[in-house]
Structure 1
Amino acid sequence: MRGALAENQMMSSFRSLTAGMFVALTLAATPAGAVTKVEPGNRNSEQPSIPGASKNRTKALKTTFDRKYEKVLGLLRRDRRLIARIKDSAEDFGIDPIHMIGAIVGEHTYNVDAYDRAQTYYIKAISYLKGSIDFQYDGEDIDDFIARPQFDKCNELSGSKAIWTCREDVWNAKFRGKKVDGKAFPNDRFSAVFFQPFYAGQTFGLGQLNPLTALMMTDRVNAVTGARKLSHTDGKDVYKAIMDPKETVPYIAATLASAIDDYREIADFDISANPGLTATLYNTGDAAGRARELARRNKRSGKTVYPEENYYGWMINDREDELRALLDN
């Protein structure tokens, strides 16, 4: 077994420096507007600091990051059917399966603890799906909320990702932390306020997806796999999709493929060979928004600033060889 997650390993530092040298050598030869390929490896020689919230969650579970990491690796090593499903889904969505492994391992190392068997996620899902699941806030159903005139422009868009991204943007601009029509709204994320009726900010299932992400990805999953489209009016169906291991794997793949597309199309970076970057975006969310900000930053400065991994993605790049071994068995 390897040592502590935060340990600065010599080989990892070498890989990071090598990747950085490659970028420096190729930068001058990259034409303006061309897509720049980001090589594997970390840009930071040491792991960025781990947020206190992640440390506190792990402490509350009376465990450590190392133990959680080994536990999720054990789950993936034992469940060959799950690995096969991950490989198949990655192929369907045109991505390297290491991105999916990275997202799952990262979530269960830093945010939650893994179960011993994938089947347990299904059992857990059944327990949640016994009662009613309604997406609402303070007595206002989400269907009524998005019928407000502030959201009219979103109705002109097509595709679940574009529509729900627009609605999230409207929430942030017009409602978040504000009082509208005499009603005060929390200064919190759209997904936490309306789409997580059990615990605000909590995510569920093998991929730890939140319902809003699943709603954004439903058209893409439907187009690729033929799975039924999800609706915000059926909370149970949405939760089943994110909690049942058989159903959630394509949503994990779609989310990662979408992040890769966003960085290529918006920021002119090909991050498809760097699982630490896709893991970072899976962790932080809003890949399109982050790609836009990176593109604006590069345009303002006239220099090429590369995307960087956070603490979560750094660990995935640092352990890439070990994680790839899960796919090779």
Structure 2
Amino acid sequence: MRRIFLALVLAVALPAASSVFATGLTVVPEGNRHAEQPKVPGASVRRTRAGKTTFDEKYEKIRDLLASDKKLVAKIRATAADYGIDAIHMIGAIVGEHTYNVDAYDRLQTYYVKAAAYAGDSFRFGYGDESIKDFLARSEFAKCDDFSDSYRLWTCRESVWERNFRGRTVSGASYPDNRFSAVFFQPFYAGQTFGLGQVNPLTALMLSDMVAKTSGYPKLDENKAANVYDAIMDPDKSLAYMAANIRRAIDDYKTIAGIDISRNPGVTATLYNTGGSAERAAALKARGGLPEENYYGWLVNDKLAELKSLL
């Protein structure tokens, strides 16, 4: 599956794309495929209990923040328009993240304050004593240099990690059996995401070209970790990366699987939560059928009328 995925993602022109648009797309309608919400992962349950709160309380908190901050909602609408997506997809992703992964701050201004705390250049991306610059200089990554756009470049690098380094000992260095983003792109602690959109640093690097082209923000450099964190912590900038992430998922499902997910915010929210839209689209194409929402996307579809009213 990994090889199939790479062939689909890295090809200069996807063979599926022409046939997709020639025969039309299969549209995923609104609503949930599951009658009941899929099980919420234990880690999310434990995190919520530790905060002495509930999922319902966290949902209501982020919903109320959005309802009370017209300026933020206006920014969401404008950013969504820039990327050619419905703003409800961004609302759904924000609500999902702050219901199941983190707790919302009471005011948007707090997100700006937190972002400022990460300013400076006192940290870097790397694993142990090996910087990301030195790691990517290894010969195994040489073939990735053929790709100039950030999405294909980092997809290639992530694949090399999975195939050659994950859980292995290479040239005397032992690497954890964990995701590339968790090992090399989390200088504070593994699994941490940041900001209003809870964007992962590696995801931001992948989407850098799209965001630079569409929103005009500077391209990101993995050797300047502070700039990456500024991009994903600053609410204004992070909205662009959120929108790009959702745009990427919609495009992947169209070109790879021939499926239009743009009318189902629960499905786009699911992909925002899980990542790997290209790989998942390839798997769906291989097995057939329609994509299904997970616990996170299920909530978005279940609350869709209320969330739409925020816009």
Q: Return the TM-score normalized by structure 1.
A: 0.87
Contact 2:91 2:307 in 1 (8 A): yes
**Cα deviation per residue 1:269-325 (whole Å; 9 max; x = unaligned)?**
000000000000000011111111111223xxxxxx110000000000010000000
Structure 1 gaps, min length 5 = 1-29, 299-304
State the distance in 2 between where 1:266 and 1:35 align: 11
Partner of residue 319, structure 1: 303
Structure 2 gaps, min length 5 = 1-19
State the distance in 2 between where 1:119 and 1:132 align: 24
Q: CA offset at residue 130 of structure 1?
A: 4.6
State the distance in 2 between where 1:32 and 1:307 align: 22
Mapping 1:160-239, distance limit 5 Å: 160-239=150-229
Larger radius of gyration: 1
% of aligned pairs identical?
59
Contact 1:221 1:250 in 2 (8 A): yes
**Cα deviation per residue 1:226-255 (whole Å; 9 max; x = unaligned)?**
111111011000001000101111110000
Q: Structure 1 residues 163, 31: CA separation in 2 closer, same or farther (over 3 Å shift)?
A: closer
Partner of residue 26, structure 2: 36
State the distance in 1 between where 2:81 and 2:89 align: 12
Contact 1:161 1:216 in 2 (8 A): yes
Contact 2:79 2:243 in 1 (8 A): yes
Q: CA offset at residue 158 of structure 1?
A: 2.3
In structure 2, what residue type is equivalent to 1:258? R
Contact 2:270 2:294 in 1 (8 A): yes
Aligned residues: 292
Q: What is the root-mean-square deviation in Å for CA atoms of aligned residues?
A: 1.4
State the distance in 2 between where 1:153 and 1:136 align: 21
Contact 2:118 2:230 in 1 (8 A): no
Q: Which of the pair has the greater relative contact order for Cα pairs under 8 Å at 6+ separation?
A: 2
**Cα deviation per residue 1:13-32 (whole Å; 9 max; x = unaligned)?**
xxxxxxxxxxxxxxxxx999
Contact 1:102 1:275 in 2 (8 A): yes
In structure 2, what residue type is equivalent to 1:313? G
Partner of residue 21, structure 1: none
Q: Is 1:282 the counterpart of 2:272 in the alignment?
A: yes
Partner of residue 43, structure 2: 53
Q: Structure 1 residues 150, 319: CA separation in 2 closer, same or farther (over 3 Å shift)?
A: same
Q: Return the TM-score normalized by structure 2.
A: 0.92
Q: CA offset at residue 256 of structure 1?
A: 0.3
Contact 1:33 1:268 in 2 (8 A): no
In structure 2, what residue type is equivalent to 1:196? Q
Q: Is 1:309 the counterpart of 2:286 in the alignment?
A: no
State the distance in 1 between where 2:163 and 2:152 align: 16
